[in-house]
Amino acid sequence: MYVLDASVALKWFFLEETHPHAERILDAILVNPGQFAVPELFSFEVLAVLIRLHPDPFAVYREGLLPILSNGLLRYPMTESLAEKAISLSKKRGLSGYDATYAALAEEIQGIWLTYDQKAHQLLKDTNLSLNLWEKSI
């Protein structure tokens, strides 16, 4: 399974940000959404950026993101186990709380966190919990 970072979804909604790896992931989600998961903070993060940068954030959220989130993708809640893993990763690896949550979800579901965040990926490089999408794709 793959854990989607908000940075991946945002590449779908801004023309100047498009990237072939993000497009490939979107295609894969449409074919097999059950192969992908997001923590509950994902949609809040995406919406916050859309509000700040997109001229029509609600339309993009409603027409672009909600159908993807409602198509069988695993929307994972914050559980005690996930919180414990996130805190541990944050303290041991120096990750932000958000990044630690994505990485903890990858650990929890034995998946890989797909991200464009090179700094966070570097902090996890020896764990096989993340994939830097600037370098390669799924």
Per-residue pLDDT tens over the stretch 39-71? 999 999 999 999 999 999 999 999 999 999 999
pTM above 0.85, yes or no: yes
17 falls in which pLDDT band (50, 70, 90)?
Answer: confident
Across 66-89, average pLDDT: 96
76 falls in which pLDDT band (50, 70, 90)?
Answer: very high
**What's the fold here for domain 2-132?**
Rossmann fold (3.40.50)
108 falls in which pLDDT band (50, 70, 90)?
Answer: very high
125 falls in which pLDDT band (50, 70, 90)?
Answer: confident
80 falls in which pLDDT band (50, 70, 90)?
Answer: very high
- Chain length of the chain: 138
18 falls in which pLDDT band (50, 70, 90)?
Answer: confident
| Mean pLDDT computed over every residue of the chain | 96
Distance CA 5, CA 113 (A): 7
Burial label, 49 (beta-carbon count in 10 A; 0-12, 13-18, 19+): middle
What are the residues facing 114 on neighbouring strands? 4, 131
Distance CA 129, CA 2 (A): 10
How do the domains of the chain map onto residue ranges?
A: 2-132
